[in-house]
Amino acid sequence: MADSESGGCCRCCFSFIITLGLTSLFMWLSLRADNPKITIKYFYLPALNKTFNNRTTNNTLIIELKLDNGNKDKGIYYDAINLTFSDNPNRSLSHLMGNHTIPAFRQGQNKKAKRIVPVEINRTMATLAAFPNGSAVFRVDMATAVRFRIMFWKTKRHRLMLGASVGVNDHGVGNFSKKKGIRLKSGAPEHGGCCAQMGLLVGLMVLVLL
Ligand SMILES: *[C@@H]1O[C@H](CO)[C@@H](O)[C@H](O)[C@H]1NC(C)=O
Ligand SMILES: *[C@@H]1O[C@H](CO)[C@@H](O)[C@H](O)[C@H]1NC(C)=O
Ligand SMILES: *[C@@H]1O[C@H](CO)[C@@H](O)[C@H](O)[C@H]1NC(C)=O
Ligand SMILES: *[C@@H]1O[C@H](CO)[C@@H](O)[C@H](O)[C@H]1NC(C)=O
Ligand SMILES: *[C@@H]1O[C@H](CO)[C@@H](O)[C@H](O)[C@H]1NC(C)=O
């Protein structure tokens, strides 16, 4: 009698540990989140288009961005996205040529978003940046923060600071393949914040279950 009782307890204990293990594994898998991939698909400065007659009065930069949420089961909340444009790829030598803010938005899992924005720039600065042969190189930087929606809750904000240099030809057009675009990159490690948060959560859950 006593034997079978302790056997039952053991089974119960065993299945509890298995459940805990599986739950932790599941939590770990479902809490991993990848930052969105952001690429410049198009970049055009009419002021540097040598065949454009009105180039000396045009202060616009047109940029097309693709924001790609590759997470299969997590939505992304973007804070306002700050874009800055500078006249030199070397940041220690560059000046702010223009800026633009894309309003905050929400992106579903596995979705791609496209933003085509006209930016008012300092045309003098853009023109001074051009080499004698008409081409030029600029710097694009992006600062924002994202939260991931994981099932029914949102993670804390993760800062995203990305940038790239963009060369343009003597027609003022970004000289990169439109298909691939230019990926905005970060120097900082990407997953530190998320891992710490995940560890904390799993730890908390274990405590609650015990
Ligand atoms: C450059 O200017 C010419 C003349 O206005 C125009 O035909 C051409 O489409 C412009 N280039 C781009 C990339 O818009
Ligand atoms: C950027 O410019 C600074 C100052 O002239 C120079 O020391 C540095 O090497 C340059 N960096 C690059 C990547 O060209
Ligand atoms: C545009 O850039 C030029 C050259 O750097 C500078 O002298 C001028 O003050 C700038 N204009 C504005 C409105 O910032
Ligand atoms: C234009 O000149 C710059 C600087 O001299 C050079 O890096 C670039 O390759 C040239 N572009 C073309 C198309 O010749
Ligand atoms: C973006 O710019 C706004 C206004 O200048 C500022 O309040 C916000 O903190 C900036 N966001 C980031 C991530 O730098």
Model confidence over 152-203: pLDDT tens digits? Answer: 889 999 999 999 999 999 999 999 998 999 999 986 544 544 555 555 566 5
pTM for the model: 0.81
Residue 208 lies in a domain: no
Residue 75 lies in a domain: yes
Tens digit of each residue's pLDDT (9 = 90 or more) over 92-148? 999 999 999 999 999 999 999 999 999 999 999 999 999 999 999 999 999 999 999
CA of 173 to the centre of ligand 1 (A): 10
Instruction: Please tell me the number of the ligand nearest to residue 139's CA.
Output: 2
**37 pLDDT above the threshold of 50:** yes
Instruction: Please tell me the number of the ligand nearest to residue 101's CA.
Output: 5
- Cα separation, 145 vs 79, whole angstroms: 5
Residue 76 lies in a domain: yes
Among 93, 94, 165, the mutation site with the greatest number of ligand 2 atoms within 8 A of its Cβ is: 93
Per the structure, the count of domains in the chain is 1
pLDDT for residue 204: 63
CATH assignment at residue 138: 2.60.40.10
Domain that holds residue 167: 36-188
In angstroms, what CA-CA distances link 35 with 91, 145, 146, 172, 206?
A: 24, 10, 8, 31, 27
**13 pLDDT above the threshold of 90:** no
CA of 89 to the centre of ligand 1 (A): 25
**64 pLDDT above the threshold of 80:** yes
- Pick the atom of ligand 5 nearest to 144's CA: 13
Residue 137 lies in a domain: yes
* Binding site membership of 82 for ligand 5 (Cβ less than 6 Å): yes
Instruction: Please tell me the number of the ligand nearest to residue 130's CA.
Output: 4
**44 pLDDT above the threshold of 70:** yes
* Binding site membership of 24 for ligand 3 (Cβ less than 6 Å): no
In angstroms, what CA-CA distances link 141 with 23, 83, 98, 113, 206?
A: 40, 6, 11, 18, 41
